[in-house]
Amino acid sequence: MLLKWLKRAGYLLLALFVLLNVMVASHAYYLTHFFANVPPPPRMEEMSGVAKTKSILLGMPLPKSKVVDSFQVPHRTVSITTDDGIVLESWIAPSSFSVSKGTILMFHGHGGSKSGIIREATAFHAMGWQVVLTDFRAHGNSGGEACTIGANESLDVKAVYDYARRELKEKNLVIWGISLGAATTLHAMANYPVRPERLMLEMPFASLHDAVKGKIRMMQLPAEPLSTLLTFWGGIQHGFWAFGFQPAQDASAVSCPVLLQWGFNDKRVTENETNTLFAQLGTNKRTMMKYYQSGHESLLKKEPQKWQAVMQEFLR
């Protein structure tokens, strides 16, 4: 009798394990894909019972981020093709100074687009820099539907960097990235000959697993085992070992001056992650700046005077 009940319990646990992994694998798929012709998801209270249950259990398709060209600085649109054939869309705004200080390549966060970093681009342009804003693959007006949270997006950074060196003939290149844009830049520098003269990072995550933990925290759900399962299945679906994607380790490849920024109210990227990444940077020419009023958001929007002063000092 005991053996019979143990078998039943074992089968039940196995079934629950399989069901949990099917659910998580489905969520991982929808969290790493953005679709051009999908409407924005309705709020939970607006869903039918069936739609709400399906969303909770399996996730739901998300629309690709939209680009709204409210950039008041004169600019042109260019297409840049990555080594794996993805066509990216970029805006290039030449410096208005008689002698440009150089070019800043700018990369947005997960689920965003170049529209979301217009505020920072405008500020850099006013300081005398040419700016290049790019939509990552599966974002904005760039091609693709799959987002690997930085693994393949590092090819996007490389493509824009190569374009700036080759087509713009730029000798003084600076890279600025926020969240995904910052973490992806570190991965690109560790894996490809991407060597900017200076680097500005805002709120990069230390590892892909940490990034997933941060998202789970924002959803007010227990971090484990969900973050481990999501990280595992997300990597499997895109053909790479997701636990090996660690921008904090990639930071050791950086040899140029670096500015790393983070906000004390950041619920997605922890202070420990930020300190760990800062310690791993492969240069002594590094500066850490923490913002007491800011979270995982535009530091310029939240604390404009401090951000402006810090950037002016770092770029002078």
pLDDT tens per residue, range 153-192: 999 999 999 999 999 999 999 999 999 999 999 999 999 9
The domain limits of the chain are 2-62, 65-207+245-315
- Tell whether the model's pLDDT for residue 4 goes beyond 90: no
Return the C-alpha torsion angle 216, 88, 143, 297, nearest 10. Answer: 20
Count of C-beta atoms within a 10 Å radius of residue 270: 17
- What pLDDT, in 10s, does the model give residues 62-74? 899 999 999 999 9
Q: Give the E-state strand segments of the chain in sequence order.
A: 34-35, 62-63, 76-81, 87-93, 103-107, 130-134, 173-178, 198-202, 258-263, 286-291
Across the chain, mean pLDDT equals 93
pLDDT at 275 over 70: yes
pLDDT band (50, 70, 90) for residue 17: confident
Judge whether 242 and 208 are in contact, CB under 8 Å: yes
Q: 78-113, pLDDT tens digit by residue? A: 999 999 999 999 999 999 999 999 999 999 999 999
What pLDDT does 91 receive?
A: 98
Cβ neighbours around 13 below 10 Å, total: 10
CATH fold for domain 65-207+245-315? Rossmann fold (3.40.50)
Is the full-model pTM beyond 0.85?
yes
21 beta partners: none
Strand partners, 259: 200, 287
- 116 phi/psi in degrees, rounded to 5: -75, -10
191: three-class secondary structure by DSSP = helix
Structural contact between residues 177 and 184, judged by C-beta atoms closer than 8 angstroms: yes
Concatenating the DSSP letter of every residue in 6-24 gives HHHHHHHHHHHHHHHHHHH
Write down the pLDDT at residue 116: 97
- What percent of the chain clears pLDDT 70, i.e. is strictly above it? 98
Sheet holding 198-202, edge to edge: 76-81, 87-93, 130-134, 103-107, 173-178, 198-202, 258-263, 286-291
Instruction: Tell me what pLDDT residue 45 has.
Output: 61
Is there a cis peptide before residue 225, judged by omega within 30 degrees of 0?
Answer: yes
The pLDDT score that the predictor gives to residue 8 is 81
What the block records as the tokens of 188 is 């690109």
CB 62 within 8 A of CB 41: yes
**Residues 35-58: tens digit of each pLDDT:** 988 888 777 666 677 776 777 777
Mind giving me the DSSP string for 227-286? HHHHHHHHHHHHTS-GGG--HHHHGGG--S-EEEEEETT-SSS-HHHHHHHHHH-S-S-E
- List the structure tokens of 138: 């599966």
Write down the residue that tokens 């060209």 correspond to.
69
- Whether residue 293 has pLDDT greater than 90: yes
254 phi-psi bin (left φ>0, alpha ψ -120 to 50, beta other): beta
pLDDT at 58: 77
pLDDT exceeding 90 applies to what percent of the chain?
A: 78
